[in-house]
Structure 1
Amino acid sequence: MNLIMFDLDGTLIDTQALIAETMAGAFGSLGLVPPGPAEVRAIIGLALPIAIGQLAGSDDVDLIEGLGGQYKSLYRTALESGLDREPLYPGARAALDRLRSRPDTLLGVATGKGLSGVVRILGNHGLAEHFVTVQTPDHNPSKPHPGMLLRAMAETGVDADDTVMVGDTVFDMELAAAARTRSVGVSWGYHDTGALLEAGAGALIHAYDQLDAAVDLVLGRSHA
């Protein structure tokens, strides 16, 4: 059995603008200099407290909690606009459907987003039944610690050699390396493709119709 784990932000869903706007708003609401979009892109994928601490250049717990509270509040408000601020990337649903249809393949999620947000997103897109394991910072250390993949493999009984992490950030590739699994980087997300390859991506794709072949490549297998 194979286990294909997916990151969310920047891999399955396009939330770059929403996250950048919300993070800037959170900092501005507390009278702090807002981080720019490039700074925010660099930390997407980390657990929220760690991401905020890096952006603020501080380990002050009260400051980080305050910014985190503002961020969550502003994010919720943005979602109430009625606009789809968390859309799937083109081809994502079809790719998930194809992989899910394989009798030897299980799908999972490993993300820096909180569990409540993951449940909301998967439910909104009708994807909850696609994934047999969902790993978040609610019950794991932040990426790139291997905990998310180790727990997913323990839950599913799949070995590291048969597990693939699909993601858009260096943190995803480092997570896979730390857990000794395979990895596939996607070029449409938040980190530079050169950085993904340097971090150990086993393959790199530029569209979701390339995913099936990339998964087979890193697993050393073929499908008819």
Structure 2
Amino acid sequence: MQELKKYKAVIFDWDGTLMNSEARIVDAIQIAAKETGLPVLSYDESKQIIGLSLEKAILGLYPGLEQSQVVAMSEAYTQCFLEESNVDMVPFDGAEALLLNLKQQGLKVAIATGKSRKGLNAVLAETGFGVYFDMTRTPVESASKPDPLMLTQILEEFGLNVSDAVMIGDTTFDMEMAQNIEMDRIALSHGVHQTELLLDYNPVATLDSLNELNMWLMNNI
């Protein structure tokens, strides 16, 4: 019988993985576009870039924008997301129990997200989840997904090898980032990208909920 892998660190994406924030993000994108005079894209089009750094996401939706337009859209989005949107966002069911369990097991726990540092700090304070993470990385201190720099920085901080960690996410950006340094990856189907797209990156598991993930991880740590 093949021995199960024993991970020492678990690295999470944030939006669409731990936090059910898709609708809030799309709302902010659409409002920001309207405020800055850009075409308002459909919900489905707008959500596809969730997970990228804000500038990269804006250029993904609106190729060819001048830098001044990117800055204006970015500022409008941030203002709307943090202070103006009335669309609720909540952690996915089982998120806090999962994080608490991992900490009790003595694992290192980190975030690798496309959110800005300001946005991540705000939501960690709002949820109270900041206490569960040993390290967090955003594109502000690193590089946007799918560049694996965030993962490399986390491994260096923890003093671990690639084989000691697993990346968990809901987008192809998460899967590709981990694949780029041959890190094991787990795909969650409850987020932004369709499961069929995530499977192209050969995740070690594809799960439908954080409760399922909790059970899977307990067998692999």
- Asked if TM exceeds 0.5, the reply is yes
Task: Report which stretch shifted further, 185-194 or 27-36.
Answer: 27-36
CA contact (8 A) 2:113 2:139 kept: yes
Q: Is the 8 A contact 1:112 1:137 kept in 2?
A: yes
Q: Which runs of 5+ in 1 are unaligned?
A: none
Say which is worse superposed, 208-217 or 69-78, in terms of deviation.
Answer: 208-217
Summarize deviations over 1:108-138 as a string: whole Å, max 9, x none: 0000001121112112222112111101011
The answer for the alignment partner of 1:123 in structure 2 is 125
Show structure 1 runs of 4+ deviating over 3 A: 212-217
Question: Structure 1 residues 205, 189: closer, same or farther in 2, change over 3 A?
Answer: same
Matches of 1:89 and 1:212, distance apart in 2: 13
Name 2:208's counterpart in structure 1: 206
The residue that corresponds to 1:74 in the other structure is 80
* Alignment partner, residue 96 of structure 1: 99
1:175 aligns to 2:181 (yes or no): no
CA RMSD after TM alignment = 1.6
TM-score, with length taken from structure 1: 0.90
Letter in 2 for 1:95: L
Question: What is the deviation of 1:78?
Answer: 2.5
Q: Does 1:161 align with 2:163?
A: yes
In the alignment, structure 2 segments of 5+ residues that lack a partner are: 1-6
Would you say the 8 A contact 1:86–1:121 is kept in 2? no
- Render the CA deviation track for 1:133-173: whole Å, top value 9, x for unaligned: 10101111100000000000000111100111110000000
The answer to whether residue 22 in structure 2 is matched with residue 16 in structure 1 is yes
**Partners of 1:164 and 1:215 within 8 A in 2:** no
* SS at structure 2 position matched to 1:179: coil
User: How far off is 1:214 after superposition?
Assistant: 3.2
**What percentage of aligned pairs have identical amino acids?**
29
**Deviations for 1:50-87, whole angstroms, at most 9, x for unmatched residues?**
000110122421111111111112223325x5x7x331
Determine which of 42, 53, 77 is the counterpart of 2:48. 42
Structure-2 separation of matches of 1:177 and 1:214: 20
Aligned length: 215
SS at match of 1:43: coil
Work out which structure has the larger RCO, using CA pairs closer than 8 Å and 6 or more positions apart in sequence.
Answer: 2
Contact 1:114-1:137 within 8 A present in 2 as well: yes
Question: 1:200 aligns to what SS in structure 2?
Answer: coil
